[in-house]
Chain A
Amino acid sequence: MSQGNDCSTEDSQGFRLVRVRGEVDLSWSQRLRKAILDALGSGRPVAVDLSAVSYIDSSGIAALVEGFQNARGKGQRFSLVAVSQPVHAVLELARLDRVFPIYASLDAAAEAR
């Protein structure tokens, strides 16, 4: 049941930007994983906008970790931007909040280059 969930990719400010919306759980995390890996396939810096994610579980976090490791292996940039409070709480709980490069907005990520 993935009503309200959405995942789209666009180019913005030099990033391949993946926008995620809704509740990311086991029923939907594979979609997020594929979107992230596809975006990384472009070879360009990737940012994942998590502002509209109201829930994420460890399978969603695993998709982010896989993307991050994949990018690092290729020397590619991978950032999380506009992380919503529920997502931030889970990243903190998993002690991953200091592992990912996290920016308040895409602008902030672009400036940090």
Chain B
Amino acid sequence: MTPAHPATGAATGEIGPGEIGILADFSHAFVASMDIDETVRQAVVKIAEHMNAEAAAVFLLDPLQDDIVCRASAGPVDVVGLRVQRGRGIVGRAIAYNRVEMVRDTAADPDYLGAQKGFPARSILCAPLDTAHGPIGALQVLNKRNGQLFDDHDANVLRLLAVPTALALNNARLMRELVEQNRIKREFQLARQMQKTLLPRRRRDFPLVALNVPAREISGDFYDFFVLPDGRIAFCVGDVSGKGMDASLLMVRASSCLRWAGRDQLDPGAWLARVNDELCETVVRGMFVCAVAGYYDPGTSVVEFSSAGFPPLLHRDPEGRMREILADGPPLGILPGCTYPSQRLALGGGSLYCFSDGVTDVRSAERRPIGIEGVRELIDRVAALSPRARVRAILGHLRKLQLADDTTLLLIADDQQPARFLGGIGGLSDPDNLRLVRKLVGDVLQLLAFDEGTRQRLILAVDEAVANVIRHAYGGAPDGHVDLCLWLEHGALRFELRDEAAPVDPQCIKPRDLSECRPGGLGINLIDAVMDLWYFDQPGDGQGNRLVMIKKLPRIG
């Protein structure tokens, strides 16, 4: 490929009122256009007329086919849809070199591809459609009428007309991409909503509590539980390999398979074996499901279960001793005919935690996965809470760190005791009310066995939390609403602070580095230093934020 007129871009030529007029018409037509294809079609007709050319055309790069395709044409033959290999022809040259190409005699230009659809081009002028990311196509005119030749003035005019054309076509392309992105996003939201409907409804004072936080819009994790006619509770938790739409479709299939097979009250091992055989027939090669399934009998406190490649289960007894229970079979959907042994475990007033690997993969502040050790430590810290508060506190804490994967936690609690309401206060987000908040907290703490120093620090932490709501959630406006409730769980004090402000991103609420001495931003550090655990979330029942802070009661005796 040889450029015929390397210096064309530097050509001179006056731009007259006629060009300004057509440029203004073009820009207006493109801005007002509701149909970019029609507008471009009208534009090429006008370009041909104005340039006094026999034909004009707009070509666009097609990144999928890696060629150049004609999108609009005007002249004796319709060349819309004509494809030219990338880099070939005069149009390919204009795009490749990103400059105006002027061919006064096509017979002498080796790049000329010959007559298209019987229409011979004697002379060609072609300007690239340039954008910030390089040319997206070219604007071409053929054969100046009355036997004349295109000149430098024509080259400048075409270059000028290419500007609004490129802008409009590029905007239209970006708009199409945006619409497509929004469509995909909506579909993911619908898929997420559908997935949510597969999860069991939460039940008050139920010994099984589970929560799922997807890493993206849709989850590859699932859980289910349902009460059998004999009073036992069947449960399963699963984690599908991979992420994205294929994983979520497999999740739907695996969870419905598990539910369907669980209705037959098979032994847990036989239950998993049946689902394994079923999934092996349909699962795409390379995908699999890790799952645990079983029954909990609230009458005897015994859990019977079987695990298929699921992360270790953690049993915590009432004395705080923890034991890991490892999987006894391979993941589901890999090898048909596998057997899965069942295990029995007497909870004896303790709890059994089943969690997907998203929980152990959560990154600590030092960016290392917290691992099973981190989970054990977290379970210890929340052990004094009611089952639902425990699951919420664990996931709330994990959300403060970096969630990398779908995260699911199912807890079977044989030790549930209802929480006791100790006191509460609600009022306007006025700093003058802080004194009342401190008074209430001080009065409640008098009833509990905290030492004076801890009492002072707890009052401070709650004051800081309310002050943060006033200052940050409500931006200092004194007419917002703040509610504080104090609950006594069976071994801990739980402070629950709610507001009705716009949702705040939990990721933004982190302690700051204390080594830098500066005013402000200390409140969260004080809360962090005083409380055993705190987390921040948006309660599911509407607008507003919730901060939960937990302090274990001192051991007596």
C-alpha gap A61/B438 in the complex (Å): 17
Interface status of B453 (Cβ within 8 A of chain A): yes
From residue B430, how far is it (CB to closest CB) to chain A in Å? 8
* Known contacts A26-B470, A89-B453: A57-B464 contact under CB 8 Å: yes
- Report B-chain residues with C-beta under 8 Å of the C-beta of A61: 519, 522
Q: Is the CB of B519 within 8 A of A57?
A: no
From residue A4, how far is it (CB to closest CB) to chain B in Å? 10
* Known contacts A58-B523, A62-B522, A93-B530: A25-B453 contact under CB 8 Å: no
Q: Is the CB of B529 within 8 A of A65?
A: no
Q: Is the CB of A63 within 8 A of B519?
A: yes
C-alpha gap A96/B516 in the complex (Å): 10
* Known contacts A89-B456, A90-B460: A55-B522 contact under CB 8 Å: no
Q: Which residue of B lies closest to A55 (CB)?
A: B438
Interface status of A27 (Cβ within 8 A of chain B): yes
Q: Is the CB of A25 within 8 A of B530?
A: no
Q: Scan B498-532; emit 1 where CB is below 8 A from any A CB, else 0.
A: 00000000000000001001111011011001100
Interface status of A112 (Cβ within 8 A of chain B): no
Interface status of B457 (Cβ within 8 A of chain A): yes
From residue B503, how far is it (CB to closest CB) to chain A in Å? 22
Q: Is the CB of A65 within 8 A of B518?
A: yes
* Known contacts A26-B467, A63-B519, A94-B526: A86-B456 contact under CB 8 Å: yes
- Report B-chain residues with C-beta under 8 Å of the C-beta of A1: 432-433, 435-436
Interface status of A95 (Cβ within 8 A of chain B): yes
The 4 closest A-B pairs by CB, nearest first: A27-B431, A62-B519, A58-B522, A26-B431
Residues of A at under 8 Å CB distance from B? 1-2, 23, 25-28, 55, 57-59, 61-63, 65-66, 68-69, 86, 89-90, 93-96, 99
List 30 A-B pairs, Cβ < 8 Å.
A1-B433, A23-B438, A25-B434, A25-B435, A25-B463, A25-B467, A26-B434, A26-B470, A27-B430, A27-B431, A27-B432, A27-B434, A27-B435, A55-B438, A57-B434, A57-B464, A57-B467, A58-B522, A61-B519, A62-B519, A62-B520, A62-B522, A65-B517, A89-B457, A93-B457, A93-B526, A94-B522, A95-B514, A96-B517, A99-B517
